[in-house]
Amino acid sequence: MKYEKTKEVLNQLVADLSQLVMVVHQTHWYMRGENFLKLHPLMDDWMDDLNDQLDEISERLIALDGSPYSTLKEMAEHTKIPDEPGNWNKSTPERFEVLAKDYRYLADLYQHGIEISDDEKDFSTQDIFIGFKTATEKRLWMIQAELGKAPERDL
């Protein structure tokens, strides 16, 4: 079968993007304090962006004759992004630390996809991975800047 490893990465992204949407949503729901009025609506934009990535990744997987995960159970079983029940004990900066870690993981997964799709010579998927990695690194830079940190050094 063609592009098997690329399809595995695509499906991993389906699970992880779905999970990251929930982590961002939890940040949105459980946010309090400084910068609330600025950051609360921003989380809606971030969720929209992740959902757009999820849709494009899923559709690419289908175009390659793959089957994206499509149940909450499948997402939970396959994601590598941890979750925890929502609570009011974390500050917004602590929540952004979690987001930084999760976005770093996502950027690394896109990098892995770039390498795998290169090996399998699936340059159309590689182009998608490159674009989303670039966008994810920009988002990571913004999260780190909100935390008063450099994009890479202070992770």
What is the tens place of the pLDDT at every residue in 4-46? 999 999 999 999 999 999 999 999 999 998 889 999 999 999 9
Q: How many residues are there in the chain?
A: 155
CATH of the domain at 134: 1.20.1260.10
Q: In terms of DSSP H, where are the helices of 30-150?
A: 36-63, 72-78, 92-119, 123-146
154 domain residue, yes or no: no
153 domain residue, yes or no: no
119 domain residue, yes or no: yes
152 domain residue, yes or no: no
CA atoms within 13 A on the CB side of 16: 20
9 domain residue, yes or no: yes
Please list, in sequence order, all residues whose beta carbon lies within 8 angstroms of the beta carbon of residue 82, skipping any fewer than 6 positions away: none
In the three-class reduction of DSSP (H, G, I as helix; E, B as strand; rest coil), residue 44 is classed as: helix
- Mean pLDDT calculated for residue range 113-138: 98
C-alpha span between 143 and 41 (Å, rounded)? 15
Among 106, 155, 113, which Cα is nearest to 135's?
A: 106
Residues 127 and 5: beta-carbon distance below 8 Å: no
Tens digits of per-residue pLDDT, 38-80? 999 999 999 999 999 999 999 999 999 999 999 999 999 999 9
Domain that holds residue 102: 4-146
In angstroms, how far is the first alpha carbon of the chain from the final one?
Answer: 39
Residues 39 and 31: beta-carbon distance below 8 Å: yes
Instruction: Indicate whether 155 pLDDT > 50.
Output: no
Count of domains for the chain: 1
